Amino acid sequence: MTTPSLPMTVPMPGMPERVTIYEVGPRDGLQNEKMVVPVGVKAEFVRRLVAAGLDTIELTSFVPQRWVPQLGDAEELLDLLGPVGTGQQRPVLVPNERGLDRALEKGVSAIAIFGSATETFAQQNLNRSVRESVEMFAPVVKRALDSGLWVRAYVSMCFGDPWEGPVPVDQVVDACLRLMDLGCDQLSIGDTIGVGTPGHVVRLLDALDDAGIGPDQVGVHFHDTYGQALANTLTALQRGVSVVDASTGGLGGCPYARSATGNLATEDLVWALDGLGVEHGADLQALVETSVWMADQLGRPAPSRVVRALAGQ
């Protein structure tokens, strides 16, 4: 039996004409790996992603090495990438003003900050309350905007929290407003432990829209713990979202949430978008080859269903 290498294109009403894939593999995809990946491998990973047609790639995080040892080579990575690692489409994560200082020293043009919708995760992740974390980010965002940088705000635990359980939608909206009121350009709502479902996605997006944060300002970041990441993403697209976080090969997790599994796989997203006739700019076969290569570096198969199907893993 012959397996098709591409899906048949059958458009569906309500989908955007084009989706921006916000690739998080080099940062979120690798940050939870127990083995520290050599910086040269990370640089090659980024180069392969660029060659595969991904425009927006989050490269690394300027967090203290003791927090996330995997990302302790941020400066070296940017040095290795040179021009490939510059521009507004190469954001980096920063946790505080010191992280911003380091990023500015390397000439970055885009940053992301990461907040929480729940108090427990804020304490676990940033050792601060939600209010205190916003106070910490305020000067970071102001200085970044004054320097002409593009700024994204991540909000984690938007659909559930391993310590607090279900998170009220109003609480999530409040956390999102606090960060967006700082002047951020884009909001990424995160299902950090993968418990969200399509109805929940609709309710949260509608509540954000009612609060003044429209779908044109929102990106979605789903983990696939319960196999819901792609369904949740397609639901968000039908609600007007056109920015989707994904990780090539389905790599990822969260060092502060043990139940979290990998991100939505970029290849799985691309397969679905190709089937819907939605433009995205990525080369599926090049992504699959990249994931197979990275899987060899990590010593295990890629979690992505599409990679396993097309590469025979």
- Catalytically active residues, by annotation: 254
Q: How many CB atoms lie within 10 A of CB 151?
A: 22
**Nearest to residue 310, comparing CAs of 265, 276, 277?**
265
Packed helices 229-238 and 198-210: angle between N→C axes, nearest 10 degrees: 40
Q: How many CB atoms lie within 10 A of CB 286?
A: 16
Contact between 268 and 280 (Cβ < 8 Å): no
Encode burial over 298-309: b for 16+ CB neighbours within 10 A, e otherwise: beeebbbbbbbb
Residue 186 phi, psi dihedral angles, 5° rounding: -145, 150
Could you tell me the two tokens for 66? 């003791």
Query: Is residue 239 within a helix (H) or strand (E), and if so which, with residue range?
Result: none
DSSP calls for 162-196 = TTTBS--HHHHHHHHHHHHTTT-SEEEEEETTS--
